[in-house]
Amino acid sequence: MFTAKVDTTKLNYLMAELSAETKKSIDVVIKEQTKVILGGLIKITPPGKRQGNEFLTKRGYISNKAFQNAKAIIISDVAKLFPTTAVKDEERINAQMKRGDKFKTYHGQMNVKRFTNSLADLQSIHKRSRNSRGRVNKGTAKANMALTRKATKNQLAKHLISKIGLLNAGWLRAAHDLKAAKSATPKWITRHGPQPGFARFRKSRHGLIITIGNKVSYYPKDAASRVRQSVFNTELHVRALIDAALKKNAQKINRKMRKK
């Protein structure tokens, strides 16, 4: 678990202004905008992207494209590391490798120095081959490459794909407690069930205080930046709501003036 310190002073002032302009209670505004922050966190939590609308729905929630992109990356990275052979005799395979025979790999015809048909081995190789962004680059793939059987390679890919959305699922408890829109958490996230996380509500003299958390242990290193980004995006959202409320209130005043 990590703790991110984010300055919400500006957001607090904006929410107070929105409350005044819309005549909604400050507690209602805080709940509504915390849901906006939460939706922002879900959509920029991997496999979501921090920038751009490529993996977002029309309503601005994380889309199935994020899942499909992550799936394609896994299949590609596994292919980079694990060329396959249909030869059943392991002694023959070892003899081929020993005399320097070339095998068809993702990178072209190459010598491969290791054979394993163990899923645990493939998992270990894949884990140590990933960079800080979770990808397998070409150089690392060539250095760690291992020959295996197609079924075992596919088994690894299936296992890795089954974990997509697990990190996002750390926000599910908060989404449930805040009654977030169902479309904010697509099925490839909810299939995991609520992972460690929370939403806590506390009253203060200034209004409702809501704390949300995702306690899945492998949140990315830039987690604090992602939280700050979601808060900043919510500030922009609240500013837009205030502008809309001001315009609406001005129109009401104008109509009243005309009637006089």
Determine how many CB atoms are found less than 10 A away from the CB of residue 247.
10
Q: Please measure the distance between the N-terminal and C-terminal CA atoms of the chain and give it in whole angstroms.
A: 61
pLDDT at position 254 is: 83
pLDDT at position 260 is: 61
Alpha-carbon Rg for the chain, nearest whole angstrom, is 25
pLDDT at position 207 is: 81
pLDDT at position 2 is: 58
pLDDT in tens, 148-183: 999 999 999 999 999 999 999 999 999 999 999 999
Q: Tell the burial category of 34 from Cβ atoms under 10 Å away from its Cβ (0-12, 13-18, 19+).
A: buried
pLDDT at position 182 is: 93
Are 31 and 212 within 8 A, CB to CB?
Answer: no
Going from N- to C-terminal start, the domains of the chain cover 9-47+165-250, 66-161
pLDDT in tens, 200-239: 999 988 789 999 999 987 777 777 888 888 899 999 999 9
Q: Is the dihedral of CA 131, 43, 37, 1 positive or negative?
A: negative
Low-confidence ranges of the chain (pLDDT < 70): 1-3, 260
pLDDT at position 107 is: 93
pLDDT at position 1 is: 56
Give the predicted TM-score (pTM) of the model: 0.87
Are 237 and 17 within 8 A, CB to CB?
Answer: no
d(CA 48, CA 69): 9
Phi, then psi, of 169 in degrees rounded to 5: -65, -10
Q: Is the dihedral of CA 212, 67, 191, 159 positive or negative?
A: negative
pLDDT at position 3 is: 66
d(CA 3, CA 203): 21
pLDDT at position 132 is: 79
Beta pairing, strands 102-105 & 197-204: unpaired
d(CA 127, CA 136): 9
- The number of CA neighbours under 13 Å toward the Cβ of 231 is 18
